[in-house]
Amino acid sequence: MSYKEIIAKYADKPGGIIEAYHAIQREMSYLPIEAVGETAEVFKVPVSQAYGVATFYSMFSVKARGKNIIRLCESAPCHVAGAEEVLAALEKELGIKVGESTADGKFALELSECVGQCQATPVLTVNGKPYFEVSPAKLTGILAEYK
């Protein structure tokens, strides 16, 4: 589905810009600038406002990024449970640093704050799906699901 078709589906929802952005990202993993412009037009708000929304929320990105978005929680409960080791292992495994995407366009690596799964720390999410008690040893298996 093109971004135009996606946005059109939310046009009648009052304040539905955020829902539309989520839907676009499910298809393309980021918000192309043209999609932001289109959103502004459909929802009848200035482009500055549509862009302001796109850049306010940490889950939205106006820059192209890898298809599968890995977010590692760095809040205190995950931090003390060893999130830093997981991060080092992730960067090594993917060959990229936080904020970058792999050359094949498969993965983007980001940090997040608490994802609300603190019964089984450290936690990371891939496209929103949480993985529990993550250790460096478990990473290969998790990433394989998306290759």
Partner 1 sequence: MAEEMRIVLRNYGKIDPLKIDDYIAQGGYKSLEKARSMDKKALMDEVKKSNLRGRGGAGFNCGMKWSFAASAQADQKYVVCNADEGEPGTYKDRLIMEGDPHTLIEGMAVCAYAIGATKGYIYLRGEYLFLVETLETAIAQAKEKGFLKDFDLEVRSGAGAYVCGEETALIESIEGKRGEPRFKPPYPPNEGLWSKPTIVNNVETYANIPVILEKGADWYAGIGVASYPGTKVLTLTGDVVNRTFFEVPTDTTIRDVVFTFGGGVRDGKRFKAVQIGGTSGAFIPESLLDTRVAFDDMNAIGATLGSGATFVMDETRDIVDVVTRIMKFFEHESCGKCTPCREGTARMHELMEKINEGQGSDKDTALLNKLGNVMTYSCLCGLGQASPAPALTTIKHFAADYQAKMK
In whole angstroms, how close is the CB of 116 to partner 1 at the nearest point?
Answer: 4
Given the complex with partner 1, which of 11 and 140 has the nearer CB atom? 11
Given the complex with partner 1, which of 95 and 116 has the nearer CB atom? 116
In whole angstroms, how close is the CB of 137 to partner 1 at the nearest point?
Answer: 20
In whole angstroms, how close is the CB of 28 to partner 1 at the nearest point?
Answer: 15
Residue 69 exposed, middle or buried by CB count within 10 Å (0-12, 13-18, 19+)? buried
* Of residues 19, 51, 48, the one with CA closest to residue 35: 51
Q: How does 110-146 read in b/e, with b if 16+ C-beta sit within 10 Å? A: bbbeebebeeebbbbbbeeeebeebeeeebeebbeee
Given the complex with partner 1, which of 61 and 102 has the nearer CB atom? 61
Given the complex with partner 1, which of 69 and 94 has the nearer CB atom? 69
| Binding residues vs partner 1 (CB under 8 A) | 14-19, 21-22, 43, 45, 49, 52-53, 56-60, 74-77, 79-80, 112-121, 125, 128-130
